Every structure is written in structure tokens, then in C-alpha cells.
Structure 1
Amino acid sequence: MRHIVNFQTDLLRTFVSVIDLGAFTKAGEALGRTQPAISLQIRRLEELVGAPIIKQVGRTLLLTSEGEMLLSYAREILRLNDEAASYFNRAKIAGVIRVGLPNDYAVAFLQGVITEYTRQNPEISLELHCGWSAEILDRLRADELDIAIAMVNGESTQYLSRSWVERPVWAAVEDIKFDRAQGIPLAAHPEGCAYRSRMIQALDAANVRWRVAYTGSGIGGLQNAVINGLGISALTRYTMLPGMRILDEKDGFPPLAEIRVGLFYKHPRLSDAGIRLVNHVIARLDEAGVSGDPTRAHVELVRQ
């Protein structure tokens, strides 16, 4: 008979709280425990894992490779545990949920998923905040948002629960005409946008001339610019509109680099309503076939 290790949810909750809140003392305050009790639970968890999961360098908490992997599983276990507890306790789902969505990503699909949830739970008040990914993550860190969806890079994996990969496509109006000698007319978000940088990098690598013909911060503005023939843009397939077509290498357009998108939240700060919304979003992403492997989500650095 194989040996089974049971990871107790209270130990996992302590671990996630330490990472999300950035300190043993803050985790203790959130969970109603003393700092020695928190340290004892972390040591117990390390005994179950059979390896260290957190190391401290100065005032900085670092996850070990085993800790990174455990954190991914811990988030998933707690997310499902808390949803089940809420369901069987018949907890009333109510309150305000503040969600951040990025300007530099196709938000139409996710907006629909989130508003679907609020229609099913009319006692919930939803606040949607749009901005650049870096700004959204800053607001999450400052507890100004409950849930964030943002671009993922090597420096923005803190609070990451689930990630998936999108490959942008070149989008143009079906009958577009342009003079390559004058440069490919681009419709793009302002500087700093991941989609804009990928368009420029791809064209520069292929030695294709380009020029920015339209700049706007909203996805609707880019769609209108493409439909009206003002320029070519990088969109996702979710934001392609009737009358648009995809340009590829046969049209002289090199492939665009992938973009990784993530779902972020602080588990200790999230209400029952927020946990259920996270589960609703993940379920819809899974159904759409775009939700990635949760074990890829990891936290690299937490500052105390």
C-alpha cells in the first residue's frame, strides 16, 4: 500500500498567507495566530514536503523550488476547499468585488465571463478597473483591487494563480491597401503595451518598414481603426470582428511572439464572493481551452 501524505488545509492556508502578505507577522495577524505558531506550521509543512519551502535572506522571503511548486498546488486546493465550504454553509454571496482588467489585452471575453457571474449573483456589486498591466498589479499589491488579470512577465508572478498563453494575430480589414514603401501602417496602444512591442519586434526582425498610423488606449479604438482601414494591428482571435481578416507569412507578415496572461489575487484578502468569481473565471477559461497548467504559476520573490 502506497504511503499517502495529507496536506492539511490549515497548513497550506498559513503558507499561502505568508507568501501573499509578505511576512510571518502579517500572516499571523490575518489568521489570528502568533508568529511562533506560524513558524511552527511552516516547519510542519516542510516536514511533510521533505524539503525547505521558504528561505529568508535579510528581510526578503524567497521560495525554494519545492516551495514554488507547493504554492501552485496550495492555491488550487484552498480555492476549491473554500468554494465547497461556502456552498455547504449556504453562505450568502454578497459584497463588492474590485476587478482589474488590462487595456493591452482582449478584455471582451473576460468582461462577459465576469458580468455573467454578477447576473447569477445579483447581491454582488462589481467594480471594473481598466489600465495597463503593471498599473493593475500595483493596485492589487496596494489592496485597491481584489482580483487582477494582467500580462505576466518574469517580474510579475507574485499572487499568480493561473496563467495561459495567447498568440496575437495580425488583423486587417478585408480589402486593405497600403504602400509598403511608405511603411506598414500600425494601429497600436501607446508605448509600453506588450502587443505594440511584439508588432515592432517582429517587423524589425524581418526588416519590414513600419509607421504608427493610429494610437489609442482602448481595444474598441483599435478595432475601429482596423475596420476603417487606418492600420493593421495585433489582436487576439476573440477580438477579431466581421470584416477583418488575419494576415500571415503568405502576406509578408512574420508570426507574433506569444503573450502570457495571468489571473492574480491575494487569497487571504479574498471574500467568499471573490473565491467563487475566481472559480467561475477559471471554469470558463477551461471550457474555452485557454487556461494553462496551474503548476506553472509560481511566486519568485516576496518582500517583507
Structure 2
Amino acid sequence: MALLINLPTDLLRTFITVVELGGHSKAGAALGRSQPAISLQIRRLEEMVKAQLLVQEGRIIQPTPAGEALLSYAREMVRTNDEAVNYFHRTDRSGVLRIGLPTDYAVAFLQNTLTGFMQENPAVELEIHCDLSRELHKKLRSEELDMIIATMNNPRLPYLSRSWVEQPIWACAESYVPDPDRPVPLGAHLEGCDYRSRMIDALDGAARRWRLVYSGPGISGLQNAVQNRLCVTALTRATLLPGMRELTEDEGFPRLEPLRIGLFYKHPRLTAAGLHLVSELVASLESVGSGVAKVSLG
């Protein structure tokens, strides 16, 4: 029978905190321990897994390849532990929780998981910030937001908890008939939007002319423009409204490159309410999307 080793959650929590906060001193301050105590815990964990987990590059501490692999499991194990503890301490869920969402996801998530969370946790005040994904990542790093859902161009971005793939689709009004002799009338979010760049790349790659006729930051304005036949655009299926239809390759609209989306947060900075919401989001994502990747943790 193979020897089973139990990895203590306190060691895993220390490891996560060192990585996410960028050093032993900051981790010690966050966890209420001295720097030598933090170093000792990391050494104990390295002895248990028989691998070096951290390496210092200049003044920056980075996980080794083995550390990155362990980080994936550690985040999930600590999250599950905290979810179990929070189940018996539900009265501790209070305060303000700042969530960042890309504009096209705001509608779907607000109407489902976030709305349910607010109803079940009236003592928690949610602040929803909608922006371009690149801005959301910046705000998470600077701790202006507690958690974000955002697109990711790099599969190894920090603070990643879950990732999944979305396939954008071309959307138009039901009565819209494409004219191959005229430029495609495009509607898009502002410059820097991943959907916008994918539409332009796809049309340019197919040598299809286009012109931008609508640009705005909000999903509802873009949906309204599509429904009124002002433009065509790229959406997720969740944001395809009645009165719209999907445009096909046979109509001259090439397949759009898929997007990888991630759920990101700094575990050491989250309150009990935040950890509970992460669990709710993870459960929601796993229930609606087969493309949700449990292995893309880190």
C-alpha cells in the first residue's frame, strides 16, 4: 500500500500567501507570523513534497515549476477548507466585496449567481465594476478589486483560480441580410476589447471589407444597436437576445478565434464573504460550461 502524506492546510496557505504577496515578510505580516516562521513552514512543505518550491530572482520570489504545479492544488485545497469552515460561520459574512467583470459578462452574471448571492447574504455589499479585461487585471494587482472575471492572453497569469473557453459568435438582427458588395457594418466595445480585435482580425484575414459604425462601453447599447440593424457584432451565446440571430461562415463571416476566460483573486486578501462567493462562482461555472478547466489553477 502506498504511503499517504497529508499536506497541512496551514503550510499550503503560507505557500500561497508568499507567492501572491511576493515575499516572506509580507506573508508574515498577513498571517501574523515572523519571517523565520514563514521560512520554516516553506522548508517543511518542501521536505514533504521533496521539491524546491520557490526561487528568488533579484528581489522577487517566484515559484519553481514544481511550485507552480503545487500552487494549482494548494489553492483548491485551501479554498475547499475555507468553504467548509465558512459553512459553520455564516454570520461572519459581511463587508464590501468588489467584483470586476468584462462588459459582455456583466449581464449574465448579475442576473444569476451574483443576484442569488446578494439575496442570500444581505450583510455583504457588492460593488460591480465593468471594464476591459486588461484594466481589470491592473485593478486586481493594485488591490482596487477583490476578484475579477477577465479574458487572458497568457495561460499562466497570477491569481488564476479557474479558466474556461468561450466561442464568440457573429450576431445580427433577425431580418439582417448581408450584402457582400458593401463593407460589414461593425459594432464593438472600445479599443482594447478582445472581441473587437477578433472581429477585425477575422474579417481582414478573409479580405472582407468592414467599417466601424458603433462603438461603446456597455453591452446593452451594443445589443440595442444590433437589434435595430445598425450593425453586426461578436457576442457570447449567453448575450444573444430575442430578435437576434447568428451569422454563419456561409454568409461570409469567418469563425472567430475562441477566448480564454479566467476567474482571478488573491486568496490571502479575501474575506469570508469573498471566499464564499468564489465557491458560488466556481459551482456556477462548472454547472453551465463543460469547458471550465479545473487544472488551470494557479
Question: Shorter-chain TM-score: what band?
Answer: over 0.9
Residue 58 of structure 1 deviates from its aligned partner by 0.8
Question: Does the Cα contact within 8 Å between 2:55 and 2:62 map onto a contact in 1?
Answer: yes
Residue of structure 2 equivalent to 1:172: 172
CA distance in structure 2 between the partners assigned to 1:293 and 1:177 by the alignment:
38
Residue of structure 2 equivalent to 1:154: 154
Question: Does the Cα contact within 8 Å between 1:285 and 1:291 map onto a contact in 2?
Answer: no
Residue 272 to residue 291, structure 1, CA distance change in 2 (3 Å): farther
Unmatched tracts of structure 1, length 5 or more: 299-304
Residue of structure 1 equivalent to 2:269: 269
- Aligned positions of 1:243-254 closer than 5 A: 243-254=243-254
Question: Does the Cα contact within 8 Å between 2:167 and 2:256 map onto a contact in 1?
Answer: yes
Residue 290 of structure 1 deviates from its aligned partner by 4.9
Aligned-pair RMSD on alpha carbons?
1.5
* SS of residue in 1 equivalent to 2:253: coil
Aligned residue-pair number:
297
* SS of residue in 2 equivalent to 1:180: coil
Question: Does the Cα contact within 8 Å between 1:157 and 1:297 map onto a contact in 2?
Answer: no
Residue of structure 2 equivalent to 1:193: 193
CA distance in structure 2 between the partners assigned to 1:175 and 1:67 by the alignment:
54
1:216 and 2:216 matched: yes
Length-normalised TM-score, structure 2: 0.95
- Aligned residue identity for 1:137: H
Question: Does the Cα contact within 8 Å between 1:72 and 1:294 map onto a contact in 2?
Answer: no
Question: Does the Cα contact within 8 Å between 1:165 and 1:290 map onto a contact in 2?
Answer: no
Residue of structure 2 equivalent to 1:108: 107
CA distance in structure 1 between the partners assigned to 2:272 and 2:62 by the alignment:
29
- Aligned residue identity for 2:109: L
CA distance in structure 1 between the partners assigned to 2:131 and 2:50 by the alignment:
42
CA distance in structure 2 between the partners assigned to 1:163 and 1:155 by the alignment:
9
1:106-159, CA deviations, whole angstroms, 9 ceiling, x for partnerless residues?
A: 322211211210111111111111111121121111222111111112287111
1:258 and 2:258 matched: yes
Length-normalised TM-score, structure 1: 0.93
Residue of structure 1 equivalent to 2:61: 61
* SS of residue in 2 equivalent to 1:256: coil
* SS of residue in 2 equivalent to 1:99: strand
Residue 33 of structure 1 deviates from its aligned partner by 1.0
- Aligned positions of 1:1-304 closer than 5 A: 1-103=1-103, 105-112=104-111, 113-154=113-154, 157-290=157-290, 292-298=292-298
CA distance in structure 1 between the partners assigned to 2:49 and 2:174 by the alignment:
56
- Aligned residue identity for 1:110: F
Residue 291 to residue 270, structure 1, CA distance change in 2 (3 Å): farther
Question: Does the Cα contact within 8 Å between 2:160 and 2:296 map onto a contact in 1?
Answer: no
Residue 295 of structure 1 deviates from its aligned partner by 2.0
- Aligned residue identity for 2:114: I
CA distance in structure 2 between the partners assigned to 1:170 and 1:13 by the alignment:
43
* SS of residue in 1 equivalent to 2:136: helix
Residue 182 to residue 121, structure 1, CA distance change in 2 (3 Å): same
Question: Does the Cα contact within 8 Å between 1:166 and 1:259 map onto a contact in 2?
Answer: yes
Residue of structure 2 equivalent to 1:301: none
CA distance in structure 2 between the partners assigned to 1:156 and 1:141 by the alignment:
15
* SS of residue in 2 equivalent to 1:203: helix
* SS of residue in 1 equivalent to 2:162: strand
Q: Which structure carries more relative contact order (alpha carbon 8 Å, separation 6+)?
A: 1
Unmatched tracts of structure 2, length 5 or more: none
Residue 272 of structure 1 deviates from its aligned partner by 0.5
- Aligned residue identity for 1:254: P
Residue 90 of structure 1 deviates from its aligned partner by 4.7
* SS of residue in 2 equivalent to 1:135: helix
Residue 75 to residue 134, structure 1, CA distance change in 2 (3 Å): same
Residue 181 of structure 1 deviates from its aligned partner by 2.5
* SS of residue in 2 equivalent to 1:4: coil
Residue 260 to residue 180, structure 1, CA distance change in 2 (3 Å): same
Question: Does the Cα contact within 8 Å between 1:282 and 1:291 map onto a contact in 2?
Answer: no
Question: Does the Cα contact within 8 Å between 2:19 and 2:62 map onto a contact in 1?
Answer: no
Question: Does the Cα contact within 8 Å between 2:27 and 2:38 map onto a contact in 1?
Answer: yes
